[in-house]
């Protein structure tokens, strides 16, 4: 039996993971700035689409 608390915990865990993913990606973007300027699209997809997918 899955309670409301379990669902809430899973959602919060997903939020934390997506948050850390975004922070990590931002760090990589700063460290890898020239590469980011050359290939911006895959990075932006990783940063924005993954958390959106987790929310949906």
Instruction: Write out the two tokens for 34.
Output: 């020239």
Number of domains in the chain: 1
Higher pLDDT, 46 or 23: 23
* Cα(52)–Cα(56) distance, integer angstroms: 6
Identify the domain containing residue 9 by its residue range: 4-55
Higher pLDDT, 56 or 19: 19
Q: What is the pLDDT of residues 10-20, one digit of tens each?
A: 888 878 878 78
Q: What does the mean pLDDT of the chain come to?
A: 69
Q: SS3 letters for 6-38?
A: HHHHHHHHHHHHHHHHHHHHHHHHHHCHHHHHH
Q: What is the pLDDT of residue 36?
A: 52
pTM: 0.35
């Amino acid at each position: 039996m899955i309670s409301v608390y379990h669902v809430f915990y899973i959602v919060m865990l997903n939020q934390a993971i997506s948050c850390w993913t975004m922070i990590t990606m931002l760090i990589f973007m700063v460290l890898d700035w020239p590469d980011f300027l050359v290939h911006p699209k895959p990075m932006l997809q990783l940063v924005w689409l993954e958390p959106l997918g987790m929310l949906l």
